[in-house]
Amino acid sequence: MSKIKNLIVGCGLSGIVLAERIASELNEEVLIIDKRDHIGGNCYDYKGQDDIIIHKYGPHAFHTKYKEVWDYLSKFTSWHYFTLKSQIVIDNEKVTLPFNINTIYEVFPEYLATKISKKLINTYGYNKKIPILELKNSKDKDLKFLAEYVYKKIFEQYTVKQWGVTPEEIDKSVTSRVPVLVSKDNGYFQDKYQAIPLQGYTKMMNCILDNPLIKVQLNTDFKDIRDNVKYDKLFYSGAIDEFFNYEFGALPYRSLYFDIQEKNVEYYQNTAITNYPNNYDFTRISEYKYFLDQKTSKTTIAIEYPQEFEDGKNERYYPIANDSNLELYEKYLQKSKNLSNVYFFGRLGDYKYYNMDETIKRALDLFKKVKENNVTTN
């Protein structure tokens, strides 16, 4: 293999966005490799029965507060504006998620719901997000009752299933993602921009890659070619511990298994995602036709089972953020700083739980750094 100007490992959102920036802005050639047989990483989607667009690796609803990210993606896709509204099964009843004032009235008698809602608003203000572990520390007996209810009925068992640990054993950056919302906003996210690429994520990512300076090579594992490839710059969005041959030990991850099923009914459930914190071994069921409001006579669902990550058997999904794991990651991070012209980024390279927009912003910010270095050295 001849020398490559820019080698990017990983053809997920991180690598794709960075490749486009390097090719378009610096006018330099880029080779992206990926060990999978498709582009897009975990955002990959495809057409199933009745042309329903299936998210192979779980449901992806794009949302962001970053105008820079929204404007960037809007150059490569038209949008289907979509606000995710979810439900959760509590005591065999489907109620609103996120847990908000509407949910309070759905699960409690009216007199109690009114009392608790007023106290929430008076204590925290309206339109606020209260992390459940913070609410548990409340001195007010009614708010403490609410916190214990949400903790037991939603948070505790869902966290154990999803992460394999209790909420207290996981980093606050994860636990804060499931708050009590002091409002009547039933949207799962509150970001300014919320939508789905009109023709799917894969189509959008193909458009981002549509540059003659970008070459994509699939079914290619970096560890199989690393001794034979030469490059000016390496951008690595794979697992940082794997890059260093697990010198300090393996970084723990959670994985997922999706049981994708075609159903001979028009709709299987009445919302895009239904969560099951206490029932069954799976965490949620997604119904894909909702995301692009596709009108079909049949439907497709995905039942989501959390798993331990096992190398070679399943995919890395979520870094398990806690003190000991972050301490281990820090060892790899410090070692990476000894390498010249090698950049680690993305969910696996940074060992960080990124949303899609955060992944894109990270790639855009990394490109700015690379561009600045190019100007400095040229």
The predicted-structure confidence for 107-145, as pLDDT tens digits, reads as follows 999 999 999 999 999 999 999 999 888 898 899 999 999
CA torsion 364-366-369-371 (nearest 10°) is -60
Question: Any idea what DSSP says for residue 76?
Answer: T
- Of the pLDDT bands very low, low, confident and very high (cuts 50, 70, 90), residue 176 is low
The tens digit of pLDDT for each residue in 299-315 reads 999 999 999 999 989 99
Check pLDDT > 60 for residue 90: yes
The tens digit of pLDDT for each residue in 26-45 reads 999 999 999 999 999 999 99
Per CATH, the number for 4-39+209-252+320-377 is: 3.40.50.720
Rounded mean pLDDT, 162-187: 82
Rounded mean pLDDT, 237-244: 98
As beta bridge partners, residue 180 has 130
- Of the pLDDT bands very low, low, confident and very high (cuts 50, 70, 90), residue 377 is very low
What is d(CA 345, CA 359) in angstroms, rounded to the nearest whole number? 9
- Of the pLDDT bands very low, low, confident and very high (cuts 50, 70, 90), residue 376 is low
- Classify burial at 221, counting beta carbons within 10 Å of its beta carbon; exposed 0-12, middle 13-18, buried 19 or more: middle
The tens digit of pLDDT for each residue in 287-345 reads 999 999 999 999 999 999 999 999 989 999 999 988 899 999 999 999 999 999 999 99
- Of the pLDDT bands very low, low, confident and very high (cuts 50, 70, 90), residue 91 is very high
Write the DSSP string, 5-56: EEEEE--SHHHHHHHHHHHHHH---EEEE-SSSSSSGGG-EEE-GGGPEEET
Q: Where are the domains of the chain?
A: 4-39+209-252+320-377, 102-180
Check pLDDT > 80 for residue 175: no
* Residue 214 and residue 24 in contact, taking contact as beta carbons nearer than 8 Å: no
- Of the pLDDT bands very low, low, confident and very high (cuts 50, 70, 90), residue 242 is very high
